[in-house]
Amino acid sequence: MPIVSQQYELVIGVDTHAANHTLSVVTAATGAALDQASFPASTAGLERAAAWVTRRTAEQAALVVIEGIGSYGAGLAERLLRAGMTVVEPSVTALAEVPYLHSPRVPTRERCRS
């Protein structure tokens, strides 16, 4: 599996909600924040958000990561796909794969009940 920074120059992360979406642009190589904006989740707001992404990425290889592509993020994902952008949804890491959660220093539900 290729590393994101080997294929893309920019990553756009989108946090979606019913009322608005917040977008952040970072460099893929370093994670340095370049820009951030929020847009209403209305039809006009989604059009503005898609235009904002297109302007911010220009001719650079960009990966757009949208939370909730099947729900709140569907409208923006559709617009960006039509614009030729690469759009994905973040995967959820299984809790069993997160090593620090197995540390005795991290309280588990059972430890919290005592």
| Domains, in order of start, for the chain | 4-113 (3.30.420.10)
* Model pLDDT for residues 5-54, shown as the tens digit of each residue: 899 999 999 999 999 999 999 999 999 999 999 999 999 999 999 999 99
CA dihedral 3, 24, 89, 17 (to 10 degrees): 160
pLDDT of res. 98: 56
Predicted TM-score (pTM) above 0.85: no
Cβ–Cβ under 8 Å, residues 76 and 44? no
